[in-house]
Amino acid sequence: MTANLVNPTHIDAIIIGAGACGLMCAVQAGFLGKQTLVLEKNDRPGAKILVSGGGRCNYTNLNTSAQQFISGNPHFCKSAFAQWTVEDTIGFFETYGIEGQEKTLGQLFPTTNKAKDIVDVFVNLCHDLDQPIWLNTNVKAIERDVNGFVVTYEQHGKITQVAAPKVVIATGGLPVHKLGATDFGLRIARQFGLQVVKPTPALVPLTITGKDLPWYGQLSGNSIFCRVWNDDISFEENILFTHWGLSGPAILQISSYWQAGQEFYLDMLPHQDIVELISQERNINPKKTLLNVLAGLYTRKFAEALANYLPVTKNLASLSKADLEDINQLIHQFKVKPAGDKGYDKAEVMRGGVSTDELSSKTLEAKKEPGLFFGGESVDVTGWLGGYNFQWAWACGFVIAQNI
């Protein structure tokens, strides 16, 4: 994999990071007859792609639009998505033998269920197109010089430099240190005087502490379908109870819209009215206990745990108006106040990053630093769970390749 350029002075651009954005950028530049050099600190390319989607790689989402992205400028991502569409992603991978299958909510995975197949496409294309990927190459610094940029890197303990007129920062975000995550992109942005929107973990499980924790902990392993909502947004997917708090897709989604100190709500029966359901049941079987009604809707364990809040041993006929109000409030508007999140090592993405104000949306070049490009997760554009973040990274790689 590690290759030396025959003529290192003939590089159009140095791409830092062999992740989703950097690999797509190298391949697309290769299609255009440009010469890139990819520098990657890990001993293999695409470490995050390999673990993504539980090793199956949810590589795009059929429903992609600007709506599924959080950014200081919600319109910023539109230009990249117009230049590289979901159909482009699908067509690109199909050309190299990867058919997609939709699992749920527009999420596309390779039919082989192997993330490695996705990485192999890039590795093979980089090889065929003569776009070297230098592995075990940790970039330490970037300086401007008269011809562009000088990049200083450490390889096998040796510090060396390489120069190019353009540099692409495709070093991703802060999540999951062991997969190669660094703050390099943010540091370089600040070094060149670019604003950075404060990064925070996103798509991340949330923790519960204090007197509420034993209640959540006893339900560890139980999953229920919910509508999870706050004043800004709502998601309908499963939530998962754990011994430290809450996880599952709906919780990861709302975590991107949650800040410390805030609360959100669970509607644990989003498509039915619990009071209506109880009154129907009461007409048929007034002696039935509330516990048995709830056990028909959830796991028995979950129904029993609701005894903490509701008079579950009462039979339906004896439920008072106040009881029904409590039941309605608890089932449809269960308040959750997380203590915190599980941090970058359990997050799928970083929220924040290089401010979109600093970049051209059409080229992803820094407005103040011609020749310096930022793409993928390093930019303040954060997608929902479900393949959106890869679609953003592929689109950035394509757009930057047109402009280096």
Ligand X SMILES: Cc1cc2nc3c(=O)[nH]c(=O)nc-3n(C[C@H](O)[C@H](O)[C@H](O)COP(=O)(O)OP(=O)(O)OC[C@H]3O[C@@H](n4cnc5c(N)ncnc54)[C@H](O)[C@@H]3O)c2cc1C
Minimal distance, residue 240 CB to ligand X, in Å: 16
Using alpha carbons, select from 364, 404, 388, 396 the residue that is nearest to residue 24. 396
Minimal distance, residue 104 CB to ligand X, in Å: 13
# residues near ligand X by CB under 6 A: 37
Using alpha carbons, select from 60, 16, 8 the residue that is nearest to residue 39. 16
Select the span of 35-43, 65-73, 283-291, 299-307 touching ligand X (CB under 6 A): 35-43
Residue 199 lies near ligand X (rule: CB under 6 A): no
Select the span of 34-42, 79-87, 118-126, 311-319 touching ligand X (CB under 6 A): 34-42
Is the CB of 176 or the CB of 294 nearer to ligand X? 176
Q: For the segment 50-89, give every residue that binds ligand X (CB under 6 A).
A: 51-53, 57-58
Is the CB of 116 or the CB of 288 nearer to ligand X? 116
Residue 48 lies near ligand X (rule: CB under 6 A): yes
Q: What are phi and psi of 257, to 5 degrees?
A: -115, 15
Minimal distance, residue 24 CB to ligand X, in Å: 8
Residue 267 lies near ligand X (rule: CB under 6 A): no
Minimal distance, residue 47 CB to ligand X, in Å: 5
Site pattern 361..400 for ligand X (x: CB under 6 A): ---------------xx---------xxxx--x-------
Distance from C-alpha of 15 to C-alpha of 166, rounded to nearest angstrom = 9
Quote the tokens at residue 400. Answer: 């930057």
For ligand X, the binding residues (CB under 6 A) are: 16-22, 39-42, 47-48, 51-53, 57-58, 138-139, 170-172, 175-176, 180, 182, 184, 348-349, 376-377, 387-390, 393
